[in-house]
Amino acid sequence: MTKRWRLIILLGLAISFCLIMVFWSVRSYASSPWQAWQTKFFQAQISELQGRLPMLQGEEQVAKINQEIKDWQDKKPTVQEIRLSSGRLERCTTCHMGIEEISVSHPSASIGCTVCHGGNALSLDELTAHEGMYGGGHPGKLEVARLSCGGNSEVGQCHSGNKHAIDNQVDLLTTSLMASKGGELSMSRYMYGLDIPPRVLLKPGETAMDFKAPFNNRAEEPQFQQNCLAVCHLSGGELPGQEVQANGCASCHVLSNTEHTYEGTDVTISRSTPGYGISHRLTVQIPYTQCNQCHNQGDYHLDTMDFTPRPDLERVKASPSPDKESLETRWQNVYSPGLVFTECEVNLDCIDCHTRKEVMGDGEMYVSEWDALQIQCRDCHGSTVGQPLEWRVTDKSDLAWSQARINPVFPTLNMGDIILKTAKGEELPYVRLEKGTWYSYRKTNGEKYLIPQVIDSQCRQDPEKQSSDDCHKCHDVSKDKPSSGGK
């Protein structure tokens, strides 16, 4: 065989190989799962529009919806690309076409998806696209939060590594009792006589599960570790009575239903598999119903190291949404039987009293929940001999200035406005002095509440005894008759 013929044969083989690869690529493209996902999304939009047709009135409205249906029917699957502000491309929405915008302050059009989630932004194959995702797809998990919520080389510093410590929520959260269970560890050891007085046993970033021999190898130790320390909605433990693990930051900032199933418009996410929020959205407007998915689920018994679910838990799960509840149904359906609360504690949401530093940590490790508390009744209501502490906003570097802008339902905060400062020095931009009267703006919906003041009232309480426990002695709410005591 001559050299010329060998070259012709090799060239023919090369051309054949290229044609086979092109054919294979076209065939693979035509049968790619992402096309099926897009088709399913189109069909979901069509079904939703068709469901609206019977409720429409007027030919013009019907014609408009019918045109939208036709537009969806005519759509063909195409690769979706987002060009970020950095110039980088992402193709995540090729499959996740119906995914909700995570939040106004995290626009996907400029920062994308992988900056928070990790993974391979250009792949159209599920396995390679999801390879290297932070927290297995849950970037809020505390063990990966510095890579996701904290920030990285793509976007710079977000919630970690900033100049001002208060802006480093990921770092501060490592000192929160909810993240570490340090208070539960310290006080349990104290109640069993192992540490008198109780002492801080953990360093920032450690959890009670990291502590060796929490009960000094006593017989109760395995049960304490399994039934108490291992259950934590921030550190990834299984939630009480629920076969689902919670996921750090998302436990509070991504709202979920009682089954922890997805209800959004991304067709790639199962509607029956637990472990998801209601939708792909972050929020700082956290209702008490979110808190109650971990709290008020039942009682822990330190003497037996057991957890007993409350007997009316099914009623709690089926309770009406906050906007449809009366004070009485809210009390009966949500708050644990036998506990005592004031009317404002039932009527408001948990985050209206539990402050940012209290919930997310302030950089200090505390021995108990009591030590970590940032606010008491007297902070807002004053005492028989004093008014609440006032703080005038005069500088945009003030923490209150930025906090007031995070929550969209707060009224505008202006320079010179007077807000509340707690006895521990935390500024509360949602508690304001307006024309000589104190008001609190509810964090979930912005409702405005008058704050009654103790001074010049009929209160006969000792000014030195103004803790919430002291106030409960008179201003309790009965389970059978939810109204303020006012004695």
User: pLDDT band for position 13 (50/70/90)?
Assistant: low
C-beta of residue 195 within 8 angstroms of C-beta of residue 182: no
In angstroms, the CA 417 to CA 400 distance is 11
C-beta of residue 203 within 8 angstroms of C-beta of residue 210: no
- Residue 464 clears pLDDT 90, i.e. is over it: no
In angstroms, the CA 422 to CA 460 distance is 23
Peptide bond into 287 cis (omega under 30): no
User: pLDDT band for position 293 (50/70/90)?
Assistant: confident
Give the pair of three-digit tokens for residue 478. 């009965």
- Residue 4 clears pLDDT 70, i.e. is over it: no
In the prediction, which pLDDT does 236 show? Answer: 63
In the prediction, which pLDDT does 234 show? Answer: 64
Q: How far is CA 189 from CA 183, 226, 303, 308, in A?
A: 10, 16, 12, 21
C-beta of residue 99 within 8 angstroms of C-beta of residue 90: no
Return the closest-CA partner of residue 422 out of 377, 465, 455, 362: 377
Return the closest-CA partner of residue 365 out of 199, 224, 210: 199
Q: Which residues pair with 387 in a beta bridge?
A: none
> Among 10-19, 174-183, 227-236, where is mean pLDDT lowest?
10-19
In the prediction, which pLDDT does 286 show? Answer: 93
Model pLDDT for residues 54-93, shown as the tens digit of each residue = 998 889 999 999 999 999 999 999 999 999 988 899 999 9
**Pair type for strands 390-392 and 306-309:** unpaired
Count other C-beta atoms under 10 Å from residue 433's C-beta.
18
> How far is residue 251 CA from its own chain's centroid?
4
Model pLDDT for residues 439-455, shown as the tens digit of each residue = 999 999 999 999 999 99
C-beta of residue 261 within 8 angstroms of C-beta of residue 272: yes
C-beta of residue 261 within 8 angstroms of C-beta of residue 276: yes
Up-side HSE of residue 15: CA atoms within 13 Å toward CB? 6
Return the closest-CA partner of residue 373 out of 463, 468, 292, 235: 468
Up-side HSE of residue 229: CA atoms within 13 Å toward CB? 25
> Among 24-28, 124-128, 344-348, where is mean pLDDT lowest?
24-28
Model pLDDT for residues 89-107, shown as the tens digit of each residue = 999 999 999 999 999 889 9
**Average pLDDT value for the chain:** 85
In the prediction, which pLDDT does 25 show? Answer: 44
C-beta of residue 179 within 8 angstroms of C-beta of residue 173: yes
In angstroms, the CA 397 to CA 427 distance is 13
